[in-house]
């Protein structure tokens, strides 16, 4: 089953309404937001995070923000978390970086969503050139996500 089909099947099973949108490749988050007609805060980055015990979790972070490791560690209740190499993230989820979404992951890892994941948002959709639009609240409920302030303002570029 391809990534799109895995996302669709999992969303349906969880009662989450989604819409797939094909889009041209984007060179930046800002470009992706413009292509989708959304604010950068509505583009949700799905990060695969490795725990010290070898298990993983997903962190959902608004595009205009960055992960706060201290806040995420506090929310998870652990002292050590890290981003795994791309090949390890692929093995843990079945998705390549840039396409990762908690829906349809080969393992249903726990999800931690930043408290700013609100309204209509876009996420990866399991395949390049594709995004999924979803109501952030419905996504959080459907995934059984833990919600907390786990991000900081984006550092100036």
Q: What is the mean pLDDT of each successive set of 10 residues along the chain, which is 157 residues long? A: 94 97 88 94 97 96 96 96 96 94 96 97 93 97 98 81
Please tell me the predicted confidence (pLDDT) of residue 64: 95
Give the relative orientation of helices 136-143 and 3-14 as an angle to the nearest 10 degrees: 80
What six digits make up the tokens of 77? 């209740």
Please give the CATH topology (third level) of the domain spanning 3-150. Answer: YbaK protein (3.90.960)
Please tell me the predicted confidence (pLDDT) of residue 145: 98
Q: Dihedral, CA atoms, 106, 110, 16, 33, nearest 10 degrees? A: -90
Q: What is d(CA 134, CA 51) in angstroms, rounded to the nearest whole number?
A: 28
- The DSSP secondary-structure symbol of 155 reads P
Please tell me the predicted confidence (pLDDT) of residue 157: 58
Q: 0.75 exceeded by the pTM? A: yes
């Amino acid at each position: 089953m391809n990534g799109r089909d895995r996302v669709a099947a999992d969303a349906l099973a969880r009662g989450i309404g989604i819409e797939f949108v094909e889009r041209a490749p984007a060179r930046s988050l800002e470009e992706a937001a413009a292509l989708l007609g959304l604010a950068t805060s509505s583009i949700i980055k799905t990060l695969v995070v490795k725990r010290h015990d070898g298990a993983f979790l997903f962190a959902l972070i608004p595009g205009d923000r960055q992960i706060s490791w201290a806040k995420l560690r506090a929310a998870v209740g652990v002292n050590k978390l890290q981003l795994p190499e791309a090949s390890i993230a692929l093995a843990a989820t079945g998705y390549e970086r840039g396409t990762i979404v908690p829906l349809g992951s080969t393992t249903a890892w726990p999800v931690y969503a930043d408290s700013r994941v609100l309204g209509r948002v876009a996420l990866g959709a399991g395949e390049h050139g594709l995004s999924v639009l979803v109501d952030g609240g419905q996504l959080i409920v459907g995934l059984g996500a833990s919600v907390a302030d786990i991000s900081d303002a984006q550092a100036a570029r």
